[in-house]
Amino acid sequence: MITIQGKGVSSGVGIGPLYFYHRAKTTITRYQVEDVDAEWHRFKGAQTAAIEQLGELAEKARAEAGDEAAMLFETHQMMAEDLDYEEAIEGLIKENKSNAEAAVTDVAVQFAQMFESMDDSYMQARAADVKDVSRRILSILNGTVEGGIASEVPVLLAADDLAPSETVQLDKTKILGFITAGGSGSSHTAILARTMGIPAIVGVGDALKPEYEGRQVIIDGATGNVVIDPDDMTRDRLLKKREEQLRLQRLLESLKGQPNITKDGKSIRIYCNIGSPEDVHAVQVNDGGGIGLFRSEFLYLNCDDYPTEDQQFEAYKQVLSDMEDKEVIIRTCDIGADKQIGYFNLPKEDNPAMGMRALRISLTRPDFFRTQLRALFRASAFGKLGIMFPMVTSVWEVREAKKLCEEVKRELKAEGIPYSEDVQIGIMIETPAAAIMSDRLAKEVDFFSCGTNDLTQYTLACDRQNNDLGRFYDPHHPAVLRLLQMVVENAHKNGIWVGICGELGADLTLTETFLAIGIDELSVSPRAVLPLRNAVRMTDTRESSARILDALNNEYQAT
């Protein structure tokens, strides 16, 4: 039995085989082949597998987002079996004796350059298609699988860490839990784990050895304990703990349909954070009151080029329609910092968390921003929509974003395209500047939503992705809580509501504090809804409000 200690970031006990995340190879080995017919058949096998994958993705996209979304994968299917593309690869293999990987790579470059040189914009867009299809075939030839998990059974997934673009593509049905060498409690891996309601442990360093792959492992997401080849006593103890957790979850199920009201009658809205239309089901199953944060950047992370207005519209429309009359707040694209996308061609920055990201990109690329806003306002005709701008620091940024909203609405009206006039406009409070300026910002918008992950990072000057900072990154720090209190006071003075959509919203040790300072809404991962509702219903703010407010205003000490 081998025991490894990490940091638990999503509670629960997971048991299963250990599997290391496999990334597609970025370098192509070139060599001359002797048996060209065998090499050609190797390519044909990979081509067939790619076409089958694309067909499955098309059907999944059609079910989740409509025919428009499915067309992308159907176009890629046609590209994969295009006769000119296939014959060019066959020529390199059979005449030049190139290995399949080299042949696919060279033909992809040749065809992409050909498409890019054409005058027709539609044909120019096919360059991205041929690159994507070729990458898929190369991944199969290299033995890697789209989504990184080539296993027939669910696994405990181990990785150094996972980028947002990688978490988007994971086959969620194959994951029993996460273990990462790096990362932190606010990393995307941790957030994904909490959304899925599965255990996760970060910060194990180099303790996980490649030779452990396939061995039986139990992880405890509460304690950060990883046990490889557990003995019978350890196995029984952790399985009993898992059973107790499942029993408590069944008890929480009885809270479905119950109001989020404290013992003394104070009410709070409990909404959910999601990253894709697929997550709406989890919101409904866990009785979320609405969606307080829809991270729209998943659309961009899951594409090889900018998603079109129609692609975005279909995704937003689906979420709003599925949520019926419940509120859905969609954050405009929050790319940059730790969420990098190649086709955005962002400049390399020494400190990307402080650089070109989120609303800054949208305001400096108005055509890109306008496309998203058009899709959002078109979707507003199908539900109760709120639009939220991330990474605000100044009043002028909000006014410029609102000006673009009004321009888009005028365009849609002129085109006879329906939209709702009741769309709420809000901003993320995730910088100290926004918190300090919240009295003025509140006059510009309908609501605030506090992103506590970044607010903590910028307030404490601590990189939230750096696990080595440990207790220095403290979301309970008095400075963070006092900023939240200031934001709530300024919001309410100006007649707008304020919520929290960062991970801190699910911290049950702070539920009383949030109720005491007057937070109106907490948006959390779907699995956190019922535990949070239970905490709210067990709280009596008559006993705690005065004490908490006095501590915040006077002698509060971080714990």
**Active site residue ranges:** 188, 501
Tokens (6 digits) for 149: 């998990």
Rounded (10°) angle between helices 36-65 and 67-80: 170
Helix (H, G, I), strand (E, B) or coil at 460: helix
CA 411 to chain centre: 31
b/e per residue 389-418 (b: at least 16 CB within 10 A): bbbbbeeebbebbeebbeebbeebeeeeee
Quote the DSSP letter at residue 427: E
Residue in this structure with the two tokens 């709702």, named with its chain if needed: 420
- Strand (E) or helix (H) holding 272: strand 269-274
Report the distance separating Cα 202 and Cα 181, nearest Å.
6
Report the distance separating Cα 203 and Cα 224, nearest Å.
9
Q: Contact 331/388 with Cβ under 8 angstroms?
A: yes
Q: How would you classify the pairing of strands 497-500 and 7-10?
A: unpaired
- Which long-range contacts does 125-132 make (Cβ < 8 Å, 24+ apart)? 125/305, 126/79, 128/304, 128/305, 128/343, 129/75, 129/76, 129/79, 130/79, 130/85, 131/304, 132/76, 132/304
Quote the DSSP letter at residue 437: T
Q: Contact 504/483 with Cβ under 8 angstroms?
A: no
Report the distance separating Cα 534 and Cα 292, nearest Å.
19
What residues does 427 pair with on adjacent strands? 389, 448
Sign of the dihedral defined by the CA atoms of residues 550, 553, 555, 559, in that order: positive
For residue 379, give the nearest of 353, 355, 408 by alpha carbon: 408
Q: Contact 551/308 with Cβ under 8 angstroms?
A: no
How many C-beta atoms lie closer than 10 Å to residue 26's C-beta?
Answer: 7
Q: Where do runs of H (alpha helix) occur along 380-509?
A: 395-414, 432-436, 438-441, 452-460, 478-493
